[in-house]
Amino acid sequence: MSIALIHHNKAFLSELHGYSHFFAGIGIPCEVVTPKELPLLKRKIDWYFMGVDRSHPIPGIFRIHDYLSPSTPPARRLKDWGKRWINARPDLRIFKNHYTRQCFGFSDAIPELLMNMGIADEWLQTTGQRPEKSFDFIYIGELSAARQTNILLDRFTQGDLRERTLLLLSRNYEQWQRQYASHPNILFKGPVDKAGVKDHILRSRFAINYIPDREPFNQLPATKMLEYAACGVPILSTSYPWVRQFQQQYGGNYLYLSPDLHDLTWQRVTDFNYHTPAMSDWTWGHQIKRSGILEYLRPLYTNIRWPIYTKED
């Protein structure tokens, strides 16, 4: 019987592909569903990407609450407090990192695990010849006022960057597209599938990891940063705690930018000596096995040949 991966209209979560691919590889099918589709599915595990889950327990079905991040402004602490009290009690909670766990602050006896962000194995596979460059810069991720998207876009309407193309892969960007319609060097596209994301990164000369240095954004693993690094594309990034910790632990050399991006110039970008780190430790298989979750799932699937592993794998 399958694992139900339950999302709230966020079907482009990297975790959905990563978990599905890993568990299918050991003989456990996964079904990606919304809460409304769930009653039609026979399954052994309800794996919720939180969100809110106020449903009642179902005998014989193991329930997981997976907290990918804390709530975002406004009133983010109040939102986290509310989720802590209104959500149903699962059999297991998963948090993206220590910071996310601390933000919610559950104090009951329900087991908790940490599972970091990952990348698909195929992102580390190269086909030899790389595609020609079509864009000067790429930015992947959410476009919102809370993330100060306007600062990034405004930079490409000024100075020498007016002649340089910026591709933004996102969704729900129509308002921004209208606002910057008079600047043909600023391009919007998406959503695209993971293969399309990789192709667009490889066709870009430089990749931008633009994160405001404020909570919770500056404490969370950046999917796009991992994907940029896996593709070996030179990376520009604002400076904030998570990316500095990532560099210290895994290496690489990234061009750091000021919060207002005043130092983002074509000359500085092209003069810098970039280096991307090895990313083999960041595959989804590595992260899933390292988290310890397989020890909780093993009793539910006694007919599966489970991989041999340790938490340090």
The answer to the question of residue 227 being in a domain is yes
Specify whether 295 is located in the same domain as 198.
no
Are 152 and 260 within one domain?
A: yes
pLDDT number for residue 254: 98
For residue 179, what are the domain limits? 125-271
- What is the signed CA dihedral for 294, 296, 297, 298, rounded to 10 degrees? 80
For residues 77 and 80, give the distance between their C-alpha atoms in angstroms, rounded to a whole number. Answer: 5
Backbone angles phi, psi at 220, to 5 degrees: -110, 145
Residue 67: what pLDDT?
A: 95
Inside any domain, residue 311: no
* Closest by CA position to 50, among listed 19, 74, 28, 79: 79
| Whether residue 265 is found in the same domain as residue 287 | no
In a domain? residue 165: yes
How far apart, in whole angstroms, are the C-alpha atoms of residue 301 and residue 215? 39
Is the same domain home to 62 and 186? no
Considering the domain architecture, whether residues 289 and 206 belong to the same structural domain is answered as no
Residues 6+ apart with CB under 8 A from 225: 209, 235, 237, 243, 246
Q: Is 210 helix (H, G, I), strand (E, B) or coil?
A: coil
Q: Are residues 48 and 142 in the same domain?
A: no
313 within domain boundaries: no
Q: How far apart are CA 63 and CA 53, in angstroms?
A: 10
Same domain, 148 and 205: yes
Q: Clarify whether residues 136 and 219 are in a common domain.
A: yes
The count of C-alpha atoms lying within 13 angstroms of the C-alpha of 158, restricted to the half-sphere facing its C-beta, is 11
Judge if 262 and 133 occupy the same domain: yes
Residue 31 and residue 76 in one domain: yes
Looking at residue 56, which CATH number applies to its domain?
3.40.50
Which tokens is 251 given?
Answer: 């290496």
Q: How many domains does the chain have?
A: 2
Within a domain: residue 169?
yes
312 lies in a domain? no
Same domain as 206, residue 97? no
Per-position pLDDT tens, the chain of length 313: 799 999 987 656 889 989 999 999 999 999 999 999 998 899 999 999 998 899 998 999 999 999 999 988 888 889 888 888 899 999 999 999 999 999 999 989 999 999 999 998 888 876 667 889 999 999 998 888 878 899 999 999 999 999 999 999 998 899 999 999 999 999 999 888 888 999 999 999 999 999 989 999 999 999 999 999 999 999 999 999 999 999 999 999 999 999 999 999 999 999 999 999 999 889 999 999 999 999 999 999 988 888 776 555 5
Q: Is 307 within a domain?
A: no
- Determine the pLDDT at residue 13: 82
Rounded to the nearest 10 degrees, what angle do helices 223-231 and 194-202 cross at?
60
- Statement to judge: residues 94 and 29 lie in one domain: yes
Among residues 43, 24, 9, the alpha carbon closest in space to that of 191 is found at 9
Domain containing 211 — which CATH number? 3.40.50.2000
